[in-house]
């Protein structure tokens, strides 16, 4: 079961804190962290790191942009795309996927519903993550509130492995996701905001 931990821009997961978290998570298998661009070089030395986003532009005169080449050079192995907090148009996603493939980066596209899952599957990312926006950061997980959505999204994804996120916070959530057919989960606040993130992760993975 793959676990992707999104550091977002939490203070607890920025700079030296990001390094400390990455080090504490490095003993676990099948764990990927999504770090801020400024922290990728440091976290990627400890465990598999994805960027939280890339822009649909390549190297050149693009001041302020986060390029696939830049995150690859920093040590990232992939990138998250289209998170509900940083949505992209379909055309932008197509460009980002093309650039990610050019630089041999794995891709996770977030979708808000099964219709988007079906549409994004045509772009052939490495993973699609179903994340209903209204459940993100909450105490009720998608596995509890909408198990039918995971089942429906699995059919829509076809051969693309499906991940699920939004409100995931317990071992039961991971077990349910696995039973439903998901290949992994996306987690953020449930771990990052915990008083002992590594202990919480261990509990989830047991």
Active site (annotated) includes residue 83: yes
| Token pair for 197 | 């993130």
Phi-psi region of 104 (alpha: psi -120 to 50; beta: other; left: phi over 0): left
Active site (annotated) includes residue 131: yes
Determine contact, residues 154/162, Cβ cutoff 8 Å: yes
Determine which one of 53, 116, 131, 169 is catalytic.
131
Determine which one of 53, 83, 116, 169 is catalytic.
83
Determine contact, residues 51/24, Cβ cutoff 8 Å: no
What secondary structure, in 3-state letters, does the chain show? CEEEEECCCCHHHCCHHHHHHHHHHCCCCCEEEEECHHHHHHHCCCCCEEECCCCCCCCCCCCCCCCHHHHHHHCCCEEEECCCCCCCCHHHHHHHHHHHHHCCCEEEEEECCHHHHHHHHCCCCCEEEECCHHHCCCCCCHHHHCHHHHHHHHHHHCCCCEEEECCCCCHHHHHHHHHHCCCEEEECHHHHCCCCHHHHHHHHHC
Catalytic residue set: 83, 131
């Amino acid at each position: 079961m793959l676990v992707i931990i999104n550091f977002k821009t939490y203070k607890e997961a920025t700079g030296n804190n990001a390094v400390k978290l990455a080090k504490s998570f490095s003993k676990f298998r099948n764990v990927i962290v999504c770090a801020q661009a400024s922290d990728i070089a440091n976290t990627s030395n400890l465990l598999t790191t994805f960027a939280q986003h890339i822009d649909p532009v390549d190297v050149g005169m693009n001041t302020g942009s986060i390029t696939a080449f830049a995150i690859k050079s920093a040590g990232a192995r992939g990138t998250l795309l289209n998170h509900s907090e940083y949505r992209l148009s379909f055309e932008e996603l197509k460009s980002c996927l093309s650039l990610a493939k050019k630089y041999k980066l794995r891709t996770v596209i977030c979708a808000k519903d099964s219709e988007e899952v079906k549409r994004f599957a045509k772009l052939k990312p490495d993973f699609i993550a179903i994340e209903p926006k209204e459940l993100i950061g909450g105490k009720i997980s998608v596995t509890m509130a909408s198990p039918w959505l995971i089942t429906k999204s699995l059919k829509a994804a076809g051969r693309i492995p499906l991940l699920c996120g939004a409100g995931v916070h317990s071992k039961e959530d991971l077990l349910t996701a696995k039973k439903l057919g998901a290949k992994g989960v996306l987690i953020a606040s449930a771990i990052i905001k915990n008083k002992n993130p590594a202990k919480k992760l261990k509990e989830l993975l047991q």
